[in-house]
Copies of this chain bind each other. A is one copy, B any other.
Amino acid sequence: MSGDLTRIHTGAPQNLTQRFAHRAAMMKPSEIRSLFAVASRPDIVSLAGGMPNLSAFPMEMMASVAQKLVAEHGQEALQYGSGQGHPKLREQICDVMALEGVRAHPDDVIVTTGSQQALDLISRIFIDPGDVVLVEAPSYVGALGTFSQYEAQVVHVAMDNDGLIPQALREAIETTRAAGRKIKFLYLIPNYQNPAGVLLSPDRRTEILEICRKAEIFVVEDNPYGLLGFDKPSPNAMRAEDSENVIYLGSFSKTIAPGFRVGWALVPQSLKEKLVIASESSILCPSNFTQLAISSYLSDQPWRDQIASFTKLYKDRRDAMLESLDQHFPKGATWTKPGGGFYVWVTLPPEIDTKALMPKAIVAKVAYVPGTAFYADGFGSWSMRLSYCYPSPERIREGIKSLGAVIANEMTLRGIN
């Protein structure tokens, strides 16, 4: 097959961009986005991306799952499906969530095109322009992008090594309300947070739920990494403690594979219908083909053992990264010690601008994501996110060594020791 690739121009040219909606001004390329083209060069050790490592994925087995699915159930798998998602998969999703203490009814689960779509739908249903969304400081870049497209005002709440700080949350609520602004919800990633890598402690989970109930703010709990704990199981999900005031988002992107684009939202019953209607208007229905592929995999394959293999693989990489950070990063740099997930968050002396440093890192053949990407307010210029999920331990060591030298050099240049 071959296409004629000439662009043709006919008619009076018009500038369609003059007719954008108000919200379109908020649609700007993220810092991560422009970075990825460079970071994906094979000579660069990319500590930038958050792609799961599929080297341990049982491809032959999934190939035969897909074959059997189409051959035996093609009339269903290749047809339109339910806007809410396939009933069988929604039952299985409840079983997956039960591993983290969540008791849920399949009727309250909505299958989405990755949990990103769930973020989009929740924003659509709740956010009027100017509404405040509270998020961790730093927070997931994809969520920040979505909230800003719905013209929310994002307010960051401080975290430490035990996750979001309850007292900081109380103060943020108070300050925001004193300024006359309406808070819609708190968005957080309690397990092995993206980008900070920290775990919200069990006590704080309870306390934060109490604060939010009292303040009549609901909680959006995003949990893609909960089953990827290295040393011990994660604490129960926040949704396990509060079924009325928590919207829970899950995903198979990290526990199976992201190419299926299957995630979900578990919502209080009163929200279900609106969410389904919003999703139908957005995509009509999620893919039966990918949903049933996941469903067959969950039914027929040892998926929990498989998650254990993934976890082992990520733990080795985490170890490699923490060891080489100790070895190669200069004094004055500090970093989180993730107990699971994909990310380490590094804080440098405030004189170092990690965005300005990127070209030097690229020359040294290593890439990361500058900290400002994870803030809606320009903060984070002396921090960076390092991902250990994808490269081999050897490459991670090599990358950290190079990056340590770049940072040390920069500190020397600026007279920091």
Contacts and interface: CB of A to CB of B under 8 A. Distances in A.
- How many chain A residues sit at the interface, stated as a range, is 35 or more
A262 to B, nearest CB: 9
Interface in A234-248: 241-245
Q: Which of A13, A27, A95 has its CB near the most chain B CB atoms (within 10 A)? A: A27
A5 interface: yes
Given A4-B98, A281-B149, A62 B80 contact: no
Contacts of A269: 7
Contact of A103 (B1, B4, B60, B253): B4
A17 B271 contact: yes
B16 A218 contact: yes
B11 A209 contact: yes
Copies in the complex: 2
Contact of A106 (B3, B23, B95, B213): B3
A67 interface: yes
Contacts of A16: 218, 245, 268, 270-271
B59 A95 contact: no
B287 A10 contact: no
A378 to B, nearest CB: 20
A258 B9 contact: no
Given A54-B74, A67-B66, A281 B120 contact: yes
A178 interface: no
A256 B116 CA distance: 27
Contacts of A78: 54, 57, 59, 62, 257-260
Interface string A53-69: 01101011011101111
B79 A21 contact: no
Contacts of A127: 21
A282 B120 contact: yes
5 contacts: A11-B244, A16-B245, A16-B271, A20-B274, A63-B66
